[in-house]
């Protein structure tokens, strides 16, 4: 019997592919360079804060050591998940805002929104309108 070729086997994702998003799928928080870093950072701080606060409050309440540790670990997990959800929600909006700002920079500015440009556009408009009928009368 012949051995199967390596092409038929699905490729396994290694550690290099972890955390990489497909750019063709559109904008994402995972593909944004600053967002992915700050979401990871927020998760870490959220977990530590939840753990620390629960441990402190349990200690002050006189909870036995085993229960104190269990509560602190559970609160750390909750803090981790809460921080992750908040960070992703905030960065979704920031990624969309950055895309809109980039699109506005590329697009031509609206002269009505900038008063100095609106004055120049109004000053040039009558000259352009006056030149157009003179060119058609001579033909």
**pLDDT greater at residue 119 or residue 131:** 119
19: how many CB neighbours lie within 10 A of its CB?
Answer: 10
The domain total for the chain is 1
Mean pLDDT over residues 111-132, rounded?
63
> Tell me: the pLDDT tens digits for 50-60?
999 999 999 99
Mean pLDDT of the chain: 79
User: For 40-51, what is each residue's pLDDT tens digit?
Assistant: 999 999 999 999
- Asked if residue 2 belongs to a domain, the reply is no
Is 71 part of any domain?
A: yes
What pTM was computed for the model? Answer: 0.59
Domain-embedded: residue 55:
yes
Distances, alpha carbon 94 to alpha carbons 68, 84, 101, 117, 139, in Å: 38, 15, 10, 29, 57
Residue at 46 is within a domain: yes
Task: Look up the domain containing 54 and give its range.
Answer: 27-131
In a domain, 119, yes or no: yes
């Amino acid at each position: 019997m012949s051995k199967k070729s390596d092409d038929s086997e699905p490729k396994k994702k290694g550690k290099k592919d972890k955390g990489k998003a497909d750019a063709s799928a559109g904008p994402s928080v995972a593909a944004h360079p600053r967002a992915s870093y700050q979401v990871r950072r927020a998760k870490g701080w959220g977990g530590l804060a939840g753990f620390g606060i629960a441990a402190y409050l349990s200690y002050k309440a006189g909870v036995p050591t085993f229960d104190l540790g269990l509560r602190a670990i559970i609160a750390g997990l909750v803090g981790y998940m809460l921080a992750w959800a908040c960070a992703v929600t905030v960065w979704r909006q920031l990624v969309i805002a950055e895309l809109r700002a980039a699109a506005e920079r590329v697009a031509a500015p609206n002269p009505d929104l900038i008063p100095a440009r609106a004055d120049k556009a109004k000053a040039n408009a009558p000259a352009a309108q006056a030149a157009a009928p003179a060119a058609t009368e001579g033909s």
